[in-house]
Amino acid sequence: MSKTFKEPDCNQCKDRIEVFKVLNEEDLKKIDKIRYDVLFHAGEIIFKQGTPFTHTICILEGLAKVYLEAGSKRRFILTLIGPGEMIGSPGMFIDGLHHFSVAAVDDSVACFVQREIIEGIISTNNRFATELLKRANKRDIQNFQRFLSLTRKQAPGRLAETLLFLYHEIYKTNPFKITISRQDLADMSATTKENTIRTLKIFKEEGLISMTGNLVTILNKRLLQSVSVNG
């Protein structure tokens, strides 16, 4: 963790972060007053699972991974988050703890807002509460998809899904240069790094993708999608 600074104002985020669109002048002022930005270097931890949940964050620049850990074993990456999303914590209203860890993948700037401020707005601005409920529902639906992926698909299907997610949701260009490691790809696809590498090789041999170093090109999106869907 390094530099603490403060510059972009909240109106920018009102435009680009879905749940903030319903905030009024007053709400934004409350946030703007106490918010601050922190620069994280690639690899640094932003939130640690199990620690007190004191602030929500928004990634203003860069990319972060949100993941579950348990014991010393394997990690499970819930999602990657770039600019445009607020990261709260399911610990809000429950035990006041973080239930996942968040780490910077690229050098990233995160905006910190005290949890109490957000809770206050929830209790006074009903549209905001409703917006958060909507977001929770979206997350539920995504989680359901994830359950089906984990129980019905085999590893190649899940890896194909991960690659399409990276293309559609994160890097948005083709080809794209991944900044996450092979281990991260594995942790997103619920498999091992060895298996991931082997499967990527097969994808290359079958002409689904090309991949040199960290530059990925999706060559046959239709087929990749078919692998993703049919498992």
Binding site for DNA (CB under 7 A): 154-156, 181-183, 190-195, 197-198, 200-201, 213-214
- Which of its own copies, DNA, none lies near 195, with the C-beta cut-off 5 to 8 A by kind? DNA
90 touches its own copies (CB under 8 A) = yes
- Which of DNA, its own copies, none lies near 94, with the C-beta cut-off 5 to 8 A by kind? its own copies
52 touches its own copies (CB under 8 A) = no
Least distance (Å) between residue 194 CB and DNA: 4
94 touches its own copies (CB under 8 A) = yes
Q: Exposed, middle or buried by CB within 10 Å (0-12, 13-18, 19+), for 122?
A: middle
Among 22, 117, 164, 190, binds its own copies (CB under 8 A): 190
Among 22, 129, 219, 223, binds its own copies (CB under 8 A): 129
For its own copies, the closer of residues 132 and 216 by Cβ is 132
- Return the percent helix, strand and coil in the chain, to nearest 5: 45, 25, 30
Contact 39, 2 (CB under 8 A): yes
Among 3, 7, 25, 73, binds its own copies (CB under 8 A): 73
Among 17, 22, 45, 68, binds its own copies (CB under 8 A): 68
Strands annotated E in the chain: 4-5, 36-40, 45-47, 55-61, 64-68, 76-81, 86-87, 101-104, 108-114, 176-177, 209-212, 215-218
What whole-number distance in Å separates Cα of residue 192 and Cα of residue 116? 39
136 touches its own copies (CB under 8 A) = yes
For DNA, the closer of residues 46 and 200 by Cβ is 200
The CA angle 230-157-219, to the nearest 5 degrees, is: 95
- Would you call the peptide bond into 175 cis, given omega within 30 degrees of 0 as the criterion? yes
